[in-house]
Amino acid sequence: MYDRDQLFIDGKWTVPDADSVISVISPHSEAVIGRAACAGPADVNRAVAAARAAFDAGLWPRMQPAERIDALTRLAGIYKERRADMAALISAEIGAPITFAKMAQVRLPLTMISAFCGLAANYEWQQDRPGLYGKDIRVAKRPVGVVAAVVPWNMPQFLTVTKVVPALLAGCSVVLKPAPESVLDAQLLAELVAAADLPPGVLNVVPGGRDVGELLVSHPGIDKVSFTGSTAAGRQVALACAAGPKQVSLELGGKSAAIVLDDADPAAVAAGIQMASLANSGQVCNALSRILVPETRKDEFVDALAAGMESMTVGDPADPNTAIGPLVAQRQQERVRGYIESGKSEGARLVTGGTDMPDGLETGWYVRPTLFSDASNDMRIAREEIFGPVLTVISYRDEDEAIRIANDSEYGLAGSVFTADVDRGYGVAARVRSGTFGVNEGYIMDPAAPFGGVKNSGYGRELGTEGIDSYTVSQSISAAAAQ
């Protein structure tokens, strides 16, 4: 049992003003495994005030970039020492298989901290450029101010690090709002920040539900909101920021397509789809959930996909052999099962999976890896983000039709193409409207490259130098000679 009845505000653990408690329930055992304090309105105000003071009057934004890099490098070292604890905690609270938790939920965020420190060391914090009137103009990158970072539960540490770390490196202060389902790892991160001895107020954590998020993003003391979540919630965040007005970046939903060309190998496609579509039980925003295959080879690809999905071990996330764990909550299990029933009722063919509990499991919010074939792109399972281990195969006649189907979506977060000809793959990528794309793989989230979407998948970019840009404003300076 992990219990934390205090909030991390202004560099210390404090008694919350509210008496509400968040109970974290294991998606596998359905038992309470931890409790954490829930922030109330007064706590949100205190956190924003602390961040405001740290930015307006504190040392952090006035340090040299190298000093902030040293502080975040120190945090990376402490994070590395506690990575096993972090992985176990995330696996327990959201049901991520422990092998995936160690690799993607912890090792990847740790890599991102170090990568951002490297990017910041080479970042062009100021630039002198010739002006039109014969004088040099200095353009300096200044921190945007106090940042509200709102993260969901599915990849909690990765999404936290990709917001908090570049914001801190830029000289901002941050108020972090984790999701109730993944509050325990956020509290552990606060412990690591305290151990790294970062200045008071540069990071504050206010756990809570939608009401806490609404208070935070609409707070007049916030200068910039960085939000990851559903498209519906993102629209509300954008409206709240427009009323400010305040800067906002949104990383929202997806319904990404994998275009399988006629020269692709079925076994290689099946292996690539397993990682790109079913990792974290399909609860990934850039998962490839629409699989577009050539009509002339449809059966080969469907059979290979089904065989691969049926070979995946479903069960206890603490077991290193588990490939598919439970969904995060009962409501999510019910939602995904509803989509499976919808696919059947609309006429898609259920190849494998379904709504029955996996063999040998009596408790937990599980959904078997499910594959539909003979589907069309106008079905709900092809148009709406399911956020579970459900894949939909759609056949096409030629490459032009495949690209038309891929682009026929309100989303544009990711995509991929599988082909024996990489140059042909690059050609396909140029025709698909998405923020990221993979050739013979799902997009790999390289820390050197920007990540984000188009259309209803949001706007703004994380990772790369663009991820630091997101937390800066440009100040242009001209100077006349002294008289």
CATH number for the domain including 230?
A: 3.40.605.10
Same domain, 219 and 107: yes
Predicted confidence at residue 386, as pLDDT, reads 98
CA distance 459 to 108: 23
Residue 401 domain flag: yes
Same domain, 212 and 265: no
Residue 95 domain flag: yes
CA distance 253 to 290: 14
Mean pLDDT of 119-146: 95
Beta carbons of 365 and 332 less than 8 angstroms apart:
yes
Q: Which of 400, 422, 439 is the last residue of a domain?
A: 439
Residue 228 domain flag: yes
DSSP 153: S
Beta carbons of 204 and 239 less than 8 angstroms apart:
no
pLDDT in tens, 269-319: 999 999 999 999 999 999 999 999 999 999 999 999 999 999 999 999 999
CA distance 262 to 399: 9
Same domain, 8 and 79: yes
Q: Which of 351, 331, 411, 353 is nearest to 377 (CA)?
A: 411
Residue 97 domain flag: yes
Residue with tokens 């925003």: 285
User: Is a pLDDT exceeding 90 seen at residue 37?
Assistant: yes
Mean pLDDT of 154-162: 98
- Residue 129: how many other CB atoms lie within 10 Å: 9
CA distance 151 to 175: 11
Q: How many domains does the chain have?
A: 2
Residue 452 domain flag: no
pLDDT in tens, 208-242: 999 999 999 999 999 999 999 999 999 999 999 99
Same domain, 166 and 247: yes
Predicted confidence at residue 202, as pLDDT, reads 98
| HSE (side-chain half, CA atoms, 13 Å) at 282 | 28
Domain that holds residue 391: 257-439
Residue 356 domain flag: yes
CA distance 350 to 372: 5
Same domain, 400 and 281: yes
CATH number for the domain including 347?
A: 3.40.309.10
| 263 Cβ contact list (under 8 Å, min separation 6) | 419, 420, 421, 424
Q: Which of 220, 252, 284 is the last residue of a domain?
A: 252
Same domain, 10 and 134: yes
Residue 18 — very low, low, confident or very high, per pLDDT cuts 50/70/90? confident
Same domain, 61 and 95: yes
What is the rounded (10 degree) CA torsion for 353, 272, 302, 257?
90
Q: Which of 284, 273, 295 is nearest to 418 (CA)?
A: 273
Same domain, 248 and 297: no
Q: Which of 93, 97, 155 is nearest to 320 (CA)?
A: 97
Same domain, 93 and 129: yes
Same domain, 58 and 88: yes
- Residue 30: how many other CB atoms lie within 10 Å: 12
Mean pLDDT of 359-377: 97
Residue 9 — very low, low, confident or very high, per pLDDT cuts 50/70/90? very high
Average pLDDT, the chain: 97
Catalytic residue IDs:
251
Residue 1 — very low, low, confident or very high, per pLDDT cuts 50/70/90? confident
Q: Which of 252, 280, 299 is the last residue of a domain?
A: 252
Beta carbons of 479 and 133 less than 8 angstroms apart:
no
Q: Which of 234, 241, 196, 190 is nearest to 217 (CA)?
A: 241
Predicted confidence at residue 166, as pLDDT, reads 98
Residue 82 domain flag: yes
| 479 Cβ contact list (under 8 Å, min separation 6) | 135, 138
Predicted confidence at residue 481, as pLDDT, reads 83
In the chain, pLDDT over 70 holds for what percent of residues? Answer: 100
Same domain, 216 and 264: no
Give the SS3 label for residue 381: helix
Tokens of 253: 């939903």
Same domain, 212 and 95: yes
Residue 197 domain flag: yes
pLDDT in tens, 160-212: 999 999 999 999 999 999 999 999 999 999 999 999 999 999 999 999 999 99
Q: Which stretch of 27-36, 112-121, 129-138, 148-157 has the lowest confidence by average pLDDT?
A: 129-138
pLDDT in tens, 79-111: 999 999 999 999 999 999 999 999 999 999 999
Predicted confidence at residue 45, as pLDDT, reads 98
Q: Which of 288, 284, 296, 254 is nearest to 271 (CA)?
A: 288
User: Is a pLDDT exceeding 80 seen at residue 483?
Assistant: no
User: Is a pLDDT exceeding 90 seen at residue 77?
Assistant: yes
